[in-house]
Structures are given as C-alpha cells and as structure tokens.
A and B are shown apart, each in its own frame.
Chain A
Amino acid sequence: MKQGKKTSEDLYEKALEIIRNAGPQGILQRDLWKALKVSSREGSRIASTLEKRSLIIRERVLQGRFKTFKLIAVSNNLKTSLEAIGGCPCFSCTNLLRCGSGQQISPENCEDLTEWLLKS
C-alpha cells in the first residue's frame, strides 16, 4: 500500500515536469499519458489531481474527432510577480472585491490609495 502511494507521487512529479517542459502552449493529455507509459484512465486521474492542486490548467480541446484536454503549467514567478505590485495598498485591501468606480467604496475617493499615490 505504501509502495503504491510512493509510485503515484513520483508519477505526479514526472507528469508535472513534462507539462512544464511543454511551455506556455501546453501538452495534450493523451500525449502526457503516452509519455508516462500509463493508461489513459491513470493519465486522466493524474491530470485531474494536478489541476486540483492548482499546479496546472486543463483546457478542453477537440483533437480530430476525439475530445481531450490541453494541460498548461501555471507560471512560477511569484517573487517578480509580487514586486510588480510596488506597495500598492489595493493588493492587500479587504475591500478590493467590493471596490469600483461609482460604488460606495471606490478607487476614486479611497484615502489609502491617494496617500500612496502622493507618496513619492
């Protein structure tokens, strides 16, 4: 039982590496399970688990007359991603999702945002 679990984790890692190597255009799910030398059922389960773990995105595509999925790895540049925010208070604001032009809470009259903008 323990051995089976370990093999499965190894397969996930291998699958993720293949998907990441495919780059932003992604890889077809059927190409993945062929590369992993597993059945289509297991390939589908691996892809579905990786999607649940937010590691990949699955897009439904039609390949000829077969329905399959395109698997795309999620980008992995968190550090630069956070630096692009540049201290803008909106990012960690509790009202971000409620805020909007013409709303009660609006970026036009937000004091925190104004303060940040006036700070050179």
Chain B
Amino acid sequence: MAFIASAQYSEESVDVLLRLIAVLSGEDAVKVVKVLLNEKEVSDEVLAEKTGMRLNQVRRILYDLLDKHIVTYRREASERGGYHLYIWSLNGEGLRRMVKERKGHVLNRLRERLLYEQQNMFFVCPNGCNGRVTFDKAMDHQFKCSKCGAILQSFDNSKIIEKLRLRIESLEKDP
C-alpha cells in the first residue's frame, strides 16, 4: 500500500516509538506494532498467530491503535466470498502527526524547566544526602543539610542549562 512510507527506522527511533506505544496502549500493543514494523501488511489472523494472542484480543488492540491513528487497514473481499478480510499496516502519517503533537508538549515542558533553572540558585550536600535544593529551601535550613547537617555547597547548573538549550533548539528546528 503506497500510503505507508517504507521508511527504515533506526534502532533508536524504534525504541522511542515502542516506548511511546507502551505508554499509550500497553505492552500487548507493542507486540502487535513490532510485527507490523517487520511486515508491510498483515491480516488480524496472522497477527494473532505471530503474537501468540487470541484473535479478539488482537482485534481489540488494533481498534485501539486505529483510534489513535497508529495503524490503518484496507478491506478486501475474501476469495471464497461472503466476508471481508481486513489487512492492517502501520499508519506512517498518523504516527508522524502523533509524534509531532507530543514533541510540542515536550518542548513546552523543557522551556518551563529551562526558566526554572535560570531563575534559581541550587545547593547540594557534599555527602550526597538529598538531591538539589533551591536557595530559599537552603536558607530555611541555614544552608545545612537536613539529614547530616553538613554545610551545603553551591551547585553549578550551567551544563543543565546548556543541555536544555540545545534540546529546545533542536526541537524548535524540527517541530
């Protein structure tokens, strides 16, 4: 089917994609998508066979993925007649749209974090007791660690700011 771009996904991209699908539709959906990534087009019966799941379970997952525009189908009349075969494949364009939408949310979260990093000073315990604390919280405890009492040291977050800036830049370039 020409609608699906036969893009060769890199290992990293596949990993990101599968993690996202696990979040959106569960681990069973990952099994289905893995088969669809390898096969261009496949019927629900073959999917059930390859994933080792029951046919009704596979169909339920496929309808869920269809609602989320992750997969698509075409209907074919059966050679024996009387019923239709549903041939499923990944919906490349739908995936792209979903990724784009999610990237927009990620970009906003990273911008919020960047602002927080730029507007605050951070302190850490030299013994590594707690995580970072902000200036206000450190002042509340007289710049002492709330666990071991050691004097807090200032934390340089310039690398974090730099990493956030770079990531925001690359997400803005490729929204």
Task: Show the binding face of A for B, using Cβ within 8 Å.
Answer: 1-2, 5, 9, 12-13, 16, 53-55, 74-88, 90-94, 96-97, 99-101, 106-108, 110-111, 113-114, 117-118, 120
B140 contacts chain A at the CB level, 8 A cutoff: no
- What distance in Å separates the Cβ of A21 from its nearest Cβ neighbour in chain B? 14
B27 contacts chain A at the CB level, 8 A cutoff: no
Pairwise interchain contact B105-A76, C-beta atoms closer than 8 A: no
- What distance in Å separates the Cβ of A82 from its nearest Cβ neighbour in chain B? 4
Pairwise interchain contact B105-A101, C-beta atoms closer than 8 A: no
B109 contacts chain A at the CB level, 8 A cutoff: yes
Which residue of chain A lies nearest to B111 when distances are taken between CB atoms in the complex? A107
Instruction: Name the residue in B74, B77, B93 with the highest tally of chain A Cβ atoms < 10 Å from its Cβ.
Output: B93
Interface residues on B, range: 35 or more
Interface SS of B by simple majority: helix
Interface SS of A by simple majority: loop
Pairwise interchain contact B3-A53, C-beta atoms closer than 8 A: yes
Pairwise interchain contact B97-A54, C-beta atoms closer than 8 A: yes
Q: Tally the A-B contacts, defined by beta carbons under 8 Å.
A: 127
Pairwise interchain contact B96-A81, C-beta atoms closer than 8 A: yes
Pairwise interchain contact A53-B16, C-beta atoms closer than 8 A: no
Among B13, B94, B105, contact of A79 (Cβ-Cβ < 8 Å): B13
Which residue of chain B lies nearest to A57 when distances are taken between CB atoms in the complex? B97
Residues in B116-175 with C-beta less than 8 Å from chain A: 116, 131-132, 159-160, 163-164, 167, 170-171, 173-174
Which residue of chain A lies nearest to B115 when distances are taken between CB atoms in the complex? A101
